[in-house]
Amino acid sequence: MTKLSVNINKIATLRNARGGNNPDLIQVAKDCEKFGAQGITVHPRPDERHITKKDVFDLKPIISTEFNIEGYPDERYLEIIKAIRPAQATLVPDAPNQLTSNHGWNTIENESFLMDIIKELKQVCRVSIFVDADSKMIENAAKCGADRVELYTQSYAENYTKDKNIALQPFIKAGKVAKECNLGLNAGHDLSLENLQYFHENLPFLDEVSIGHALICDSLYLGLQETIKRYLNCLK
């Protein structure tokens, strides 16, 4: 079964809007696991506008499933990964002030940089690279030494209602290339209750999806427990 990792950045955003500790990020992470999530994802950006460095350290001892830490591999991020030793480090090519991830790595242009970083991080955890559904970028992710790639799925989500089959084709091809390269396969960005099941049904080698924004939005209406149940049902 494809694992569901819940990205709790938006919970931290809501908490930070008022200060204090409401909602309680730690309790939400515990509840996500209790309700069936098989992982927790965070992205501690340098400006700490949602997840803070302190949050990452506070979460480490309470997470009993897989802890996935996303981020641009600068010195700060590398220090966090080495100290926390999560199950997975997901490398994203975000600029410091970027609102959200909006493209994958060019693994060819950044080959030397990524190769050195991955070699260093693989001593402490599994390493995934955030990439577009581009065969060349996936092949070079393997050359860089990655364990997995995470497919950036915004184009699929945007085009799903227009023609879901056409929207999915690049990702089916990308999934096959990843398998041929002996890479694990993750996916994330704008996956939702509307489009997740079809995506999952057609990518049989999918190891993990990381979902935050849509899941948290759905939980405002459905409640967190029911929302996680529905996302897990999409992955059966």
Mean pLDDT of the chain: 96
Share of the chain above pLDDT 90, in %: 94
**Secondary structure percentages of the chain, helix, strand, coil, to 5:** 50, 15, 35
The pLDDT of residue 100 is above 90: no
Distance CA 147, CA 225 (A): 31
Q: Which residues partner with 90 through β-bridges? A: 70, 128
Helices 25-34 + 224-234 axis angle, to 10: 50
Q: Which whole number is the average pLDDT over 231-235?
A: 98
Contact 28, 59 (CB under 8 A): no
pTM for the structure as a whole? 0.95
pLDDT, tens digit, for every residue of 121-171? 999 999 999 999 999 999 999 999 999 999 999 999 999 999 999 999 999
User: Residues with catalytic annotation?
Assistant: 43, 70, 189
pLDDT, tens digit, for every residue of 52-75? 999 999 999 999 999 999 999 999
Contact 140, 108 (CB under 8 A): yes
Instruction: Give the confidence band of 103 by pLDDT, cuts at 50, 70, 90.
Output: confident
Instruction: Give the confidence band of 97 by pLDDT, cuts at 50, 70, 90.
Output: low
pLDDT, tens digit, for every residue of 174-187? 999 999 999 999 99
